[in-house]
Amino acid sequence: MGSLEETCASLRAQITATEEQLAGLKRDLANAEQAAQSDSATTTTAGNEHNDRNGHGRRWPLLQEEYKRYGRQMIVSQVGLKGQLKLRSARILLVGAGGLGCPAAQYLAGAGVGTIGLIDGDTVEVSNLHRQVLHRTKNVGKYKVDSAIESLRELNPHPTYIAHRTHLMPDEALAIFQNYDLILDCTDNPATRYLISDTAVLTGKPLVSASALRTEGQLMVLNDPPRAPGDKSGGPCYRCVFPRPPPADSVVSCADGGILGPVVGTMGVLQALEAIKVITAPDADVAGGAASTPRNPPALHVFSAYSSPLVRTIRLRSRRANCAVCSAEATVTLDTIKSGSTDYVFFCGSAILPSLLGPEERISAREYYEKYPGVSAVSQPHTVIDVRDKGQFEICSLENSLNIPISDILASGLTKPQAADAEQEAPTLPSWLPSELVSESSNPIYVVCRLGNDSQIVVKKMKELGLDQNGQRFIGDIRGGLRSWKEQVDSEWPEY
């Protein structure tokens, strides 16, 4: 019976997906027919003059509606009619349709960029909606690129939108990049950043790179102007700025570290601005994607929402003499990328944290709940330490748990409590450690975090401080953290 129900559910899901695809094709057809009718009407009004994308053979190079739509930016001296025509002919690829890609694509479409490609293999989730402004609640579960293009077409039907429903892979990156003039890196993981930068250099495309986390963001224009490896006049690449990736266990995503929506939105809008500046530069060749000389010296712009000033600029050096991709000593080539011999995941390290504790040092959320079913720490003495930051602890927490943020624990070092002597009335304790945890009590200590990673680190630290009394006192973590608590114990537990 269960197998039949699963089959029915699978068929319903396939029907739903097919219906959505059909609806998308119908929208595309309607837009194409409308565009054809508009072109036909314009051609008739203009005396049957030829009406192609660049306006050859017409009295005016843009459609009447385009003059109205883009007029406010065309009267800006740095853009003008020439700049608008360059935008109309430009092909821009955005890698990522999330917090950075959405506002960047929105402003590029609004500015009249002729072709906008979006590459992303993820689907829309409810947790995306507070910052990924092209997506709508009705599109939860839909491919992000399809959801984004649906919104972009409503904003501006003139550009050509191309959906790449996949994650960027080394064996496909070269073929995709060759079809565009300019690349925007709107991703959030180091391995993909290096792949994007390397491919941009080797295909001769300028790159606008941005990142955002919590309340801060960074922005750079790289490989501008684009030059072949070994040409010192080219702009630096991502490897020139960061020749070594950060330690894998130090990389924090928006899902783990949090993000303030307007912060990532600001960085995405700045990416669109830099892209427009690259395309409309006075001596820019749209086919080449950038000016023959850099518009400004290469720089890293650091945005901080709660600092004054909001933006600091750090000047960058030119290309590194020993860069692995853009120097005369390059070891990363088109062949090494396409063949897979340049292993980006290996280079950046695994993002999956290894298990630091043995099975005997961990307890599942269900096991903990069954061991202490509704009892208080008084009736069945034990301690639960929640190592999330204060903001997360205020969102939700286990009853009677003690909040000690992991940042406080790691900042204090590993100094063991010192025994009291004649001149010292009490042991020396780390600032984060409550005195009651150093007592001779053998009551167990359970550590919990959001996902079950930080809790393992804290258990190890506490044992290094000798709080387990040479193995006489249990110190362990709740495996899988509070996410497993929702899955195994309380389905109404807030998920954030």
The domain spans of the chain are 64-282+296-348, 359-414+431-489
Phi, psi dihedrals of residue 278, rounded to the nearest 5°: -65, -45
User: What pLDDT does 46 receive?
Assistant: 39
User: What pLDDT does 41 receive?
Assistant: 44
353 labeled part of a ligand binding site: no
Options 102, 186, 348, 449, the catalytic residue: 449
Q: Pull the structure tokens for residue 46.
A: 């203009």
38 labeled part of a ligand binding site: no
412 labeled part of a ligand binding site: no
User: What pLDDT does 347 receive?
Assistant: 87
Active site residue 254: yes
User: What pLDDT does 356 receive?
Assistant: 87
CB under 8 Å to 97, separation ≥6 — which residues?
A: 105, 118, 119, 120, 122, 132, 134, 144, 145, 147, 148, 186
250 labeled part of a ligand binding site: no
User: What pLDDT does 282 receive?
Assistant: 87
H-helix or E-strand containing 303?
Answer: strand 299-304
31 labeled part of a ligand binding site: no
Active site residue 8: no
323 labeled part of a ligand binding site: yes
102 labeled part of a ligand binding site: no
188 labeled part of a ligand binding site: yes
Residues of the chain with pLDDT under 50: 38, 40-52, 288, 377, 420, 422, 424, 426
Task: State the pTM of this model.
Answer: 0.77
189 labeled part of a ligand binding site: yes
Q: Which CATH class is domain 359-414+431-489?
A: alpha beta
DSSP 102-159: HHHHHHHHHHT-SEEEEE---B--GGGTTT-TT--GGGTTSBHHHHHHHHHHHH-SSS
Phi, psi dihedrals of residue 335, rounded to the nearest 5°: -70, -40
Options 102, 186, 254, 348, the catalytic residue: 254
Would strands 207-213 and 216-222 be described as parallel, antiparallel, or unpaired?
A: antiparallel
User: What pLDDT does 415 receive?
Assistant: 52
- Of the options 3.40.50.720, 3.40.30.10, 2.40.10.340, 2.40.30.170, the CATH number for the domain spanning 64-282+296-348: 3.40.50.720
User: What pLDDT does 438 receive?
Assistant: 80
Pairwise CA distance, residues 119 & 173, whole Å: 10
Pairwise CA distance, residues 164 & 172, whole Å: 11
Pairwise CA distance, residues 276 & 86, whole Å: 10
